[in-house]
Amino acid sequence: MPTPTEFAHALALVPLTLLPIINPLAGAPVFTVTAGADPSATRQLARQVAINCWFILVASMLVGTYVLELFGISLPIVRIGGGLLVAASGWRMLNHSDDDEVHAAVKRTQRIAMTRAELVKRSFFPLTFPLTTGPGTIAASIAIGAGLPRQPALYVVGAVVSMIGATLTVAAIYLVYRHAQALLARLGEVGTLVMTRMMAFVLLCIGIEILWTGWAELNGIHAR
């Protein structure tokens, strides 16, 4: 069984890896435009997006690796591919001031006056996917799931820890989206830009770490 330190490390790995990729602050302006000024609509939409994200993250961590294995893709390759995607996402965030997906979604939501039912429908697209949990998030989740132990008892423990980590992650998403208007007003343009750049650098480092782990495992396999 894992020690308390190992448990805490595994628990923190999920939000620390995924939150810089998700970067809910980047999606906050789109969320604010979509939800409007109605507090009840904001609360409902934030809750639904968080629920959608939880299912995507958990499914990617627990099932994604086995789906890839059906196609004969090894775990080190999954880590290398996921690390490349994560690092590339961080690099793009560091070198581009505009998020094309965000601005495209803003234009769509500004053109359409949505009812309450349409708000619920749009909780998945574009808010959940691709703005909040896009391909980079899914790839990183699969890479995290690839690191779960194969022994049945340890796998159950690791799966529970991953699910708790996913819950912490979506709780942060919910809080940011729920209070998006207040957060954006408090941070301002400069504060939001600085926060985005810091998270982009952390994301780049995490992607390199995931890639290096997969590369080391792949070399170890070929060395045997």
pLDDT per residue as tens digits for the range 122-164 = 788 778 887 788 777 888 898 888 888 888 888 899 999 999 9
pLDDT confidence of residue 15: 94
Nearest-angstrom CA–CA distance, 90 and 197: 9
Query: Can you give the pLDDT at residue 167?
Result: 97
pLDDT at residue 111 greater than cutoff 50: no
Handedness of CA 74, 76, 77, 79 (dihedral sign): positive
pLDDT of residue 38: 79
Confidence of residue 112 (pLDDT cuts 50, 70, 90): very low
Q: Which two tokens stand for residue 33?
A: 């435009």
Q: Which helix (H) or strand (E) holds 14?
A: helix 4-22
User: Mean pLDDT across the chain, nearest whole number?
Assistant: 80
Domain ranges for the chain: 4-223
Rounded distance between C-alpha atoms, residue 143 and residue 141, angstroms:
5
Task: Output the pLDDT for position 114.
Answer: 54
Distance, in Å, from the CA atom of 50 to the CA atom of 223, rounded to the nearest integer, reads 43
Closest CA to 18 of 77, 73, 61, 51: 61
Least confidently predicted of 25-34, 51-60, 208-217: 25-34
The Cα 103–Cα 92 span in angstroms is 15
Residue 67 clears pLDDT 80, i.e. is over it? yes
CA triple 125-163-53, angle to 5 deg = 10
With bands split at pLDDT 50, 70 and 90, how would you rate the model's confidence at 223? Answer: low
Residue 185 pLDDT class (50, 70, 90 cuts)? confident
More confident residue, 180 or 191: 180
pLDDT of residue 27: 79
Calpha distance 144→174 (Å, rounded)? 22
User: Which pLDDT belongs to residue 66?
Assistant: 83
Q: What angle do CA 47, 180, 134 make, to 5 degrees?
A: 65
Q: What is the DSSP letter of 220?
A: H
Q: What pLDDT is recorded for position 222?
A: 58
The answer, yes or no, to whether the previous bond of 4 is cis (omega within 30 of 0) is no
- Report the share of the chain in percent with pLDDT over 70: 82
109 — pLDDT class (breaks 50, 70, 90) = very low
The pair of structure tokens assigned to 88 is 């590339």
**Alpha carbon distance 39, 140 (integer Å):** 33
Whether the per-residue pLDDT at 107 is higher than 70: the answer is no
Q: What is the mean pLDDT of residues 104-116?
A: 49
Residue with tokens 């793009």: 92
Q: Quick one: which of 85, 42, 16, 76 has its CA closest to 174?
A: 42
Residue-wise pLDDT for 5-46, tens only, equals 878 888 898 999 899 888 888 778 778 777 777 788 889 899
**Among the listed residues 126, 145, 135, the one whose alpha carbon sits nearest the alpha carbon of residue 66:** 145
